[in-house]
Every structure is written in C-alpha cells, then in structure tokens.
Amino acid sequence: MELTTLWFLLIATLWCGYFLLEGFDFGAAMLMPVLARDDRERRVVLNTFGPVWDGNEVWLLVAGGATFAAFPEWYATLFSGFYLPLLLILVALIVRGVAFEYRGKIDDDAWRRRWDLCIVVGSALPAVLWGVAFGNIVRGVPLSAEHEYTGSFFTLLNPYALLGGVVTLTLFLLHGAVFLTLRTTGDVRDRAQRATQNIAPVAIAAAVAFLTWTAIDQRDAWAIAISVLAALTLVAALGLTAASRDGWAFVATGATIVLATVSLFVALYPNVLPATEAANSLTVTNASSTGYTLTVMTWVALILTPVVVAYQAWTYWVFRARVGTEHIPPLAMPKAVESVLQDIR
C-alpha cells in the first residue's frame, strides 16, 4: 500500500474516532435542558462525559495535524476556503470548554443558566457545521487550477450540505440520548430513553435521505453497501433501546456514525477535495507531502498511537459507572469566590 493511501486511511480513522466519541458528548450536552429538571440533574448529565470530553477533542487535533503534515495542499485549501465555518466551530468549542469550567464557580441560578446556554450552543453549532463541511467536501467545491477556493461562504450552504448538517445534528442527538440511558439512573435515564424514541425517526429519515443522495451522486458500490449497513444499524439501535439493551444500543449508534463516516471517505477516494471541475480536484497524489515526510510520520504514528488509544480506553473504563442524583453532592462555592461575595455584601 502506498503511504499516501495509508495516510488517507489514517485520517479517515481519526475522523471516525472523533465523531464516534465527540458525537455522544455533543448530543448529551444538547439534551441537557430537555432531560434535566433542576441543577442537580444537569450536573448528572455533565458528569457522564465530564471526565472524557477534552480527551475526545484530541482526535480532532490529531486529525488536523495529520492533514497538515501528510496533505498540506488539502489543509491549505480546506482551511482557507472553509475559513468562516471552521472559525465558528473553533469559537464554539472554546466557549463550550470555558462554560464547563465556569458554570459552577458562582452559586447563582442565572449565572449557571447563561453558561448552560453556552454549553448547548457550543455543542449544537459544531454538530451542524461538521455535517455541512463534510457534505461540501464529498460533493465538491469550486477550485481554481491553483487549487484555491473560488466560492463564497454561501456557496457552502447548498441543499446537500445543509442536509448533511441535519444528519450530524440528529445522529449526535440520538447518540447522546442513548449514551445517557447507558450512563445515568432514575428520572434522567427514563427521559433519555423516551427521547431516543422521538429522535430516532427523524435521524433515520435524514440519514437515509443523505446517504441515498450520496450514493446516487457518487455511484460507488462500496459506498452504497456501507451506507445500507449504516442505515440498518441505526434502525437496530431504536429496537435495542426499546428493549432496554442500553450497551448494545450505544454500540449500534456508534457503528452508524462510524459507517456513515467511512462511506463518505470511500466515496471521496482517491480525491481529498473534489472540485466542480474535475481537473482541478485535489487527490491523495497531488496534495501529499514528500515520501520522506510520510515515512517519518508513519513511524511516529506506529509508536505513539497505541499509547494514546490505551490511555483513553483506560479513562473510559475508570469512569464507566452510571451516575444519578444520589451521586451529586451539594454545589460547594469556591472559598475565594465566597470571600469576594461576602466583601461585596
């Protein structure tokens, strides 16, 4: 196998891992106002993914770094042409991370509501925009002969890409709801289980429409077969949730996300960024780094990747227990903040 193809597969794997893991914490965060009735229940939801959300984002950082090193032309065109949506995603992720840290710093309901809104918006915006971005990557964008993006921000907001945004949003919501049925107890779990029954039909309809559209456009037999399998696992997730097979339902929604992502990369190859004029497309060949660079990167990846995966697997194992309101202590205000508030009073 050529190193360019190997690194295309590795980058596809990183995106699969990112959507699989970040997908459930995006979904759980978006569902927090719906499933939690008070602050203690909201903290239950946050504690299910609190120890792992920042580790999940490492997959995105590595995917971006790998793209920069292995396919610099792809990276340059993508980050210049998709500058505004990628900037919005970055800002949303920063605000989301700050909100996790700040919401409990002051014992005030209005303060927490504002940061909770930041968490919800900071999760929903990337969930939609990643689907829009990947929809455009697979569909193709206007590129010049020098591989520069010649469209505008509104060029990216085409019906196919917007449908992709709906798919990622609903799949992440479903993945998050199933995750919460697996990781919570009591009323929160019951509400999460009911939420899956409401979200699943919308997610199934959107996913089937998007994958069918992709199959018709690309006409790739492998992509079509993988898309069908993704649709079947999504339907299976609904039945498993109804049967209270929470673990298997989570596996099914995770498999759906991974298979859908794989089908997009299969439809994409050997391109990395198709152009509306095929002659201007970026491929694994004309967008790649030198053979020496790819060789060094391959050895680094072989050494470090197992270590990172093992550490993250260990983290998930340590924090695998279900969380309920009985596990959430009263909110303790930091002494420094309490002292400042007393001085103000």
What total number of domains does the chain contain?
Answer: 1
Cβ(260)–Cβ(207) under 8 Å? yes
Which residues constitute the domain of residue 45? 3-275
Residue 191 backbone phi and psi in degrees, to 5: -65, -40
Determine the pLDDT at residue 332.
58
Q: Is 264 within the bounds of a domain?
A: yes
pLDDT of residue 341: 46
DSSP 71-113: -HHHHHHHHHHTHHHHHHHHHHHHHHHHHHHHTTSS--HHHHH
Residue 151 pLDDT: 87
Cα Rg of the chain, angstroms: 21
- C-alpha closest to that of 136 among 322, 26, 273, 30: 273
Cα 165 from Cα 153, distance rounded (Å): 15
Q: What is the pLDDT of residue 243?
A: 87
The residue type of 283 is T
Question: Considering all CA atoms of the chain, what is the largest pairwise distance in Å, rounded to the nearest integer?
Answer: 70
Please check whether residue 9 lies inside any domain of the structure: yes
CA angle 200, 16, 162 (to 5 degrees): 55
Phi/psi class of residue 244: alpha, beta or left (left: φ > 0; alpha: ψ in -120 to 50)?
left
Q: How far apart are CA 334 and CA 223, in angstroms?
A: 53
Residue 206 lies in a domain: yes
Query: Within a domain: residue 269?
Result: yes
State the CATH number of the domain containing residue 144. 1.20.1630.10
Residues 236/228, Cβ–Cβ less than 8 Å: no
Tell me, yes or no, whether 316 lies in a domain.
no
Domain-located, residue 170: yes
User: Is 107 within a domain?
Assistant: yes
Q: Which residues of the chain have pLDDT under 70?
A: 1, 331-345
Residue 286 belongs to a domain: no
